[in-house]
Amino acid sequence: MGIKITTASKKEARVKNTEPRKSIFERVRLEALVKIDSEAADVKKQGSIQHAIGRYETGIADANPYASYNWKLPAGAKGKMSGLNGSIGLTASGDEYVELSVKAGGIRVPILDDPETGKENLTSIQIKASTLVEELRNIQQNLKDMKKEDEVGKAFHLAAIQAAKPKFKKGKECPTCYDYMEDQWVIFNESKSDKVNQESLADYLVDAPTMANHPSNMKMIRKVVKDGGKYLQPALDGINDLIAEGVIDKTTGELL
């Protein structure tokens, strides 16, 4: 007979997250706001605004800084220091140029206008470092105010959808489809055979042609059919019919 223990340790039941998952647009937008402004203890986890303040205002500058999320020194640039390279307490020169960008899930979004050249909708521009913090705060405010229906919001959303597309290990790929109603990617991999997965995807797209004509799905459907995947031919036929009727754009899938 063993020794009886009067108090037993019970594992706490795991609390399930009952909150609905945020849409891709909202999730990636919030992530971008954290990336641009974060007071983390670890310098590498701080936001782009904090990195810019550290290099150009408070004097904690590195002669060879690593790229921040929203800005970096242009390729090949060594940077201009106001004193000995790498010394703490010395700020970098505001006269140097930096490369500025806005990212959605790590993908640069073509929404920047260059005030010097007049070019619009660029993925990156070069500006004087002396204005970097101000411009980063401007981008931050635009991210806060951004709406999915706006011109800038649409470009950000398309990049976010691309960035959020499910990735699989080689040999473990599953059919996927972007559901614009829910703003989520749908994965057909619920322990089903490849044939059932393909049929499920085909049914999903054929029954919901507005899903099929989204640019993220159109590209996938065309490639699958070209590679011999006949199961998506009905979805492609539906897309081609809508294009022929002048209902949707053949490239973007948007309603005309």
Would you state the pLDDT for residue 196? 60
Would you state the pLDDT for residue 89? 46
Quick check: is 235 in a domain?
Answer: yes
Task: Note whether 178 and 218 are same-domain residues.
Answer: yes
* Least confident residue range of 31-45, 77-91, 100-114, 192-206: 77-91
CA dihedral 75, 98, 86, 57 (to 10 degrees): -170
- Residue 228, pLDDT > 70, answer yes
Q: What is the pLDDT of residues 4-62, one digit of tens each?
A: 666 655 556 555 555 678 899 999 999 999 999 998 888 788 899 998 888 888 766 55
Closest CA to 139 of 154, 156, 157, 116: 156
Phi, psi of 120 (to 5 degrees): -120, 160
pLDDT class for 249, splitting at 50, 70, 90? confident
Q: What is the pLDDT of residues 163-216, one digit of tens each?
A: 999 888 887 777 788 887 789 988 876 555 566 667 777 777 766 656 677 777
Quick check: is 116 in a domain?
Answer: yes
- Residue 141, pLDDT > 70, answer yes
Average pLDDT, the chain: 79
pLDDT class for 83, splitting at 50, 70, 90? very low
Task: Note whether 188 and 227 are same-domain residues.
Answer: yes
Would you state the pLDDT for residue 237? 82
Last-in-domain residue among 157, 186, 220: 157
Quick check: is 11 in a domain?
Answer: no
Residue 76 to residue 74: CA distance in whole angstroms: 6
Last-in-domain residue among 94, 128, 157: 157
- Residue 87, pLDDT > 50, answer no
* Least confident residue range of 123-132, 145-154, 232-241: 232-241
- Residue 150, pLDDT > 80, answer yes
Would you state the pLDDT for residue 28? 97
Quick check: is 237 in a domain?
Answer: yes
Task: Note whether 41 and 109 are same-domain residues.
Answer: yes
For residue 37, give both structure tokens.
């402004």
Task: Note whether 127 and 218 are same-domain residues.
Answer: no
**CB-CB contact of 59 with 87 (8 Å):** no
Closest CA to 107 of 161, 144, 38: 161
pTM over 0.95: no
Q: Which domain holds residue 132?
A: 24-157
Would you state the pLDDT for residue 217? 80
Would you state the pLDDT for residue 44? 80
Residue 96 to residue 129: CA distance in whole angstroms: 6
Task: Note whether 176 and 78 are same-domain residues.
Answer: no
Would you state the pLDDT for residue 139? 97
In sequence order, what DSSP letters do the residues of 86-138 get, joined into one string? T-TTBPBPTTSEEEE--EETTEE-S-B--TTT---SBS-EEEEGGGHHHHHHH
Would you state the pLDDT for residue 86? 43
Would you state the pLDDT for residue 1? 54
Residue 146 to residue 157: CA distance in whole angstroms: 10
Mutual angle of helices 151-164 and 24-36, in 10-degree steps = 100
How many domains does the chain contain in total?
Answer: 2
Q: Taking the CB of residue 35, how many other CB atoms lie within 10 A of it? A: 19
Would you state the pLDDT for residue 85? 39
- Of the two residues 156 and 214, the one the predictor is more confident about is 156
